[in-house]
Amino acid sequence: MNALRTTIEEIYGLFVDDGSYALLILVWLAVAALGFGRAPGGASWGGPVFFLGLAALLLENVIRSARKIAQERAGQSL
Amino acid sequence: MINWAHAGPSALAAFLASLVEFVEALTIILAVGTVRGWRPAIIGTIAGVALLTLLVLIFGPALQQIPLHDLQLFIGTLLLLFGMRWLRKAILRSAGLVGLHDEEAIYQKQTLKLSEGREIVRERLDMVAVATTFKATVLEGLEVVFIVIAVGATGHMLVPAGLAAAAAGIVVIVLGFILHKPLALVPENTLKFAVGIILSTFGAFWIGEGLQFHWPAEDLSLLGLACGFLIVALLAVWLARRIDAAFTLETGSVTSNGAQKIEEGVHS
């Protein structure tokens, strides 16, 4: 039972590290599928727009994580 | 006949990603073999490989039954989550905010852990050693299997991706056999950075295909997406370094101000 739980946790960990980051990626995917993917002409500009959204999510998460880690470090050194 | 020019990106992604996973598995297998003996280490590894083979044989053909667009969307989503996670971590590591993966330290830790209770098991099969290598092989191997299926299944590239992963396995096994120590010199974060970009690229591309977007320049869009992810990742590293430097500077000035005040207090 313990081994099964560890395996499930490891598999989950393959895809999810920061929960909010993974959730936002999935939300953006849903927006692409249900929103602009169905908009007029969406098929032609959908791909590049989808990429730009992913780029924004990555940058936002790195900035947020960097601030958090740097803040924790600063707190430790004080 | 495999068209390697077309299969190149899938094969490269599978090779590099598998290389990282095999290095991680080798570290644990070497630690077990050195401390608890090679027989249980090899038995655990073979059992792990057998389970993985069984899983591939069961689930591999099932993938062929899924309609193409659904398969592209499903695999693309998993690839994107997997790739973006690797890329995020590689960026934070490159910026010096998260510690690097140290194979030597992991080897030492495993060796120490496995040394405990070593005397008890001498005659019978050492089940702790078997279980440790079995677990390492299955968990790291699952990632290899997933990567091979993910980069190969949607574009009929399973064979080149599988061959590339096998080549990575052979490289790691041969190096491990020759060196007899963990492959600490493999630039793991650089590999993870590159693989993160490749997997995110494939993920975004397959999702687009699954949603029936028309990528400009079709398959050549993969190159454009990879360049895009690379630029964004490099920008993210630069930003993360600046944020860290800014906080360090702030803390330094606060600390030195505090020290100055204490000094002033002592003098007055």
Query: How confident is the model at residue B182, as a pLDDT?
Result: 64
Q: Do A74 and B87 touch (CB under 8 A)?
A: no
Cβ pair B133, B28 in contact under 8 A? yes
Residue type for position B188 = E
Q: What is the mean pLDDT of residues B114-139?
A: 73
Least confident of B144-148, B166-170, B179-183: B179-183
Question: Does A1 reside within a domain?
Answer: no
Closest residue on chain A to B237 (Cα): A62
What does the pLDDT read at residue B265? Answer: 43
| pLDDT category of residue A65 using cuts at 50, 70 and 90 | very high
Say whether B92 and A29 touch across the interface (CB within 8 A): no
Residue B160: which residues within 8 A CB-CB, separation 6 or more? B2, B4, B7, B10, B11, B14, B152
- Give the rounded distance of the alpha carbon of B40 from its chain centre: 26
Instruction: Please state, in angstroms and rounded to a whole number, the distance separating the CA atoms of residues B193 and A6.
Output: 26
Interface check B240 vs A, CB under 8 A: yes
How many Cα atoms within 13 Å fall on the side-chain side of residue A32?
29
Residue ranges making up the domain that contains A54: 16-77
A57 falls within a domain: yes
Asked if residues B44 and B134 have their Cβ atoms less than 8 Å apart, the reply is yes
pLDDT at A76 over 80: no
User: B98: Cβ–Cβ under 8 A, 6 or more apart, which residues?
Assistant: A69, B89, B92
Burial B53-77 (b: 16+ CB within 10 A, else e): eeeeeeeeeeeeeeeeeebbbbbbb
- Specify the number of domains making up chain A: 1
pLDDT at B264: 45
Q: Does B97 touch chain A (CB under 8 A)?
A: yes
Question: Cβ–Cβ of B92/A65 closer than 8 Å?
Answer: yes
For residue range B42-64, list pLDDT tens digits in order: 888 889 888 888 887 777 777 77
Percent of chain B with pLDDT over 70: 81
Inter-chain residue contact A78 with B139, CB threshold 8 Å: no
B249 touching A (Cβ < 8 Å):
no
Q: Could you tell me the two tokens for A62? A: 């790195």
pLDDT at position B259: 45
- A60 is a domain residue: yes
Whether residue B258 has pLDDT greater than 50:
no
Predicted confidence (pLDDT) at residue B86 exceeds the cutoff of 70:
yes
| pLDDT confidence of residue B260 | 46
Confidence of residue B263 (pLDDT cuts 50, 70, 90): very low
Quickly list H helices, chain B: 4-36, 38-64, 68-94, 103-115, 127-152, 158-179, 188-210, 221-267
- The size of chain A, in residues, is 78
Q: Note whether B87 contacts A48, CB cutoff 8 Å.
A: no
> With bands split at pLDDT 50, 70 and 90, how would you rate the model's confidence at B215?
confident
Cα gap B21→B144, rounded to integer Å = 7
Q: Which residue of A has its CA nearest to B239?
A: A63
pLDDT over 50 (residue B246): yes
pLDDT of residue B185: 62
What average pLDDT does this structure show over B169-174? 85
- The region of weakest confidence among B35-39, B103-107, B127-131 is B103-107
What's residue A44's pLDDT?
82
Dmax (CA) for chain B in angstroms is: 86
User: From residue B105, how far is each of B24, B89, B108, B181, B262 by CA, in Å?
Assistant: 12, 19, 5, 12, 40
Residues of B with CB below 8 A from A70's CB?
A: 97, 243-244, 246-248
3-state SS, one letter per residue, for chain A: CHHHHHHHHHHHHHHCCCHHHHHHHHHHHHHHHHHHCCCCCHHHHHHHHHHHHHHHHHHHHHHHHHHHHHHHHHHHHC
- Tell me what pLDDT residue B261 has: 42
Q: Distance (Å, rounded) from C-alpha B174 to C-alpha B95? A: 32
Query: Which residues touch A45 (CB under 8 Å, ≥6 apart)?
Result: A36
Q: Looking at residue B252, what is its pLDDT? A: 66
What chain B residue is nearest to A56 in terms of C-alpha separation?
B232
B residues 113-172 closer than 8 Å to A (CB): 135, 138-139, 142-143, 146
What's the Cα-to-Cα distance from A60 to each of A25, A56, B152, B240, rounded to whole Å? Answer: 12, 6, 31, 11
**Residue contacts between A and B (CB atoms, under 8 Å):** 135
Q: Is the pLDDT of residue A55 over 80?
A: yes
The answer to whether the beta carbons of residues B164 and B12 sit under 8 Å apart is yes
Residue B183, pLDDT > 80, answer no
CA distance B39 to B166: 23
**Rounded Cα–Cα distance for residues A75 and B6 (Å):** 51
pLDDT of residue B266 exceeding 70: no
Q: Which of A29, A36, A60, A61 to mutate to test the interface with B (most CBs of B within 10 A)?
A: A29
Q: Residue B222 in contact with residue B201, Cβ under 8 Å?
A: yes
Whether the CB of B246 is below 8 Å from some CB of chain A: the reply is yes
